[in-house]
Amino acid sequence: MLGIGGDRSYPTVLLIDDDMISREVIATILTMNGYTLHTAEDGADSVRILDDGKCLPQVILVDVQMPGLNGIRLIKELRSRSEAAIYAISGSRLPEELGTVVDGFLQKPFTPDSLQRLLDEHNLKSPAPPELNSDEPIVSAKILSQFRQMMPEETVREVYVAVVSDLKKRMTALDLAIAKKDVTEVRRIGHTIKGGCGMAGARQAARLGALLEAESDELNNSAAIRLELKLAQENLERMLEVEFPA
């Protein structure tokens, strides 16, 4: 089950549990409270979901006592693929060695209030989503003016439509690279965004591409930059509506 629910102010949650009833109950609680939720039926399924890059959770809830890939081995696989906070859930007390590798624990059966408190505590620890500087130009007025002197208005519009389309493709590739912790690919994508958007005068996106290109080996800021890049893309789309009305 992928991408259910969706309030952008709440973290995206990946729920890993082999018990169908537990999975459905927890899923219902989370989606009714506005969380975007992805679910996996076992450890191997969760690894596949993260590897395909379509799920970028901020929180992982995982039953640590499942058949197959489980326990510390599963936690290591999840850590290698995601920067999410990992909270263990189990019907038994958590072994000490597992307690040292997860960020928290809920023992089944737990109440909806207990689950919400855990997520509320996570939200308090998490930085607020970034916001672009409202004074930063979306597009360089000088470059836009030069384009308009050089080519017909419809052609100028097509340039920025192409920029938006390319940004969307780059962000899909970026999501996959971040999920895989592929530093080289993240930097390559950033370099491409910086160059292409810079040529088009898309100032916000070009700056963010430069930040991605300069990312550390730990990719500490990549997820936050990705959020800003999405805002920059949306700003470009609004600019198109204003500057080139249908």
pLDDT of residue 193: 95
Is the model's pLDDT at 133 over the cut of 80? no
Task: Please name every residue paired with 37 in a beta bridge, in sequence order, or none if there are none.
Answer: 4, 13
Average pLDDT over residues 9-27: 88
Tracing tokens 């590897």 back to the chain, one arrives at 51
Q: How confident is the model at residue 222 (pLDDT cuts 50, 70, 90)?
A: confident
Look over the chain and give the mean of its residue pLDDT values, rounded to a whole number: 86
Count how many Cα atoms sit within 13 Å of the Cα of residue 64 in the half-sphere of its side chain: 28
pLDDT band for position 118 (50/70/90)? confident
**Cα–Cα distance for residue pair 38/55, rounded to 1 Å:** 7
Spatial contact of 170 and 192, defined as CB atoms under 8 Å apart: yes
User: Looking at residue 3, what is its pLDDT?
Assistant: 43
pLDDT for residue 245 is more than 70: yes
> pLDDT by residue (tens digit) across 80-97?
888 889 999 988 888 888
211 vs 223: CA distance, rounded Å: 12
pLDDT at 15: 95
Q: How many CB atoms lie within 10 A of CB 233?
A: 22
The per-residue pLDDT for 170 is: 94
- Contact, 17 vs 66, CB < 8 A? yes
pLDDT of residue 187: 93
Instruction: Please give the domain boundaries of the chain with CATH numbers for all domains.
Output: 13-125 (3.40.50.2300), 141-243 (1.20.120.160)
**Backbone dihedral region of 71: left (phi > 0), alpha (psi from -120 to 50 degrees) or beta?**
left
Residue 120 pLDDT level (bands cut at 50, 70, 90): confident
Residue 93 CB-half CA count within 13 A: 2
Q: What is the pLDDT of residue 1?
A: 46
Rounded distance, CA 65 to CA 98, Å?
Answer: 11
Q: What is the pLDDT of residue 130?
A: 54
CA dihedral (98, 44, 55, 23) in degrees, to 10, reads: -70
CA nearest to 136, candidates 20, 246, 235: 235
* pLDDT, tens digit, 9 for 90 and up, residues 152-190: 999 999 999 999 999 999 999 999 998 888 999 999 999
Structure confidence at residue 223 as a pLDDT band (50, 70, 90): confident
| Dihedral sign (CA 219, 224, 225, 227) | positive
- Are the beta carbons of 37 and 1 closer than 8 angstroms? yes
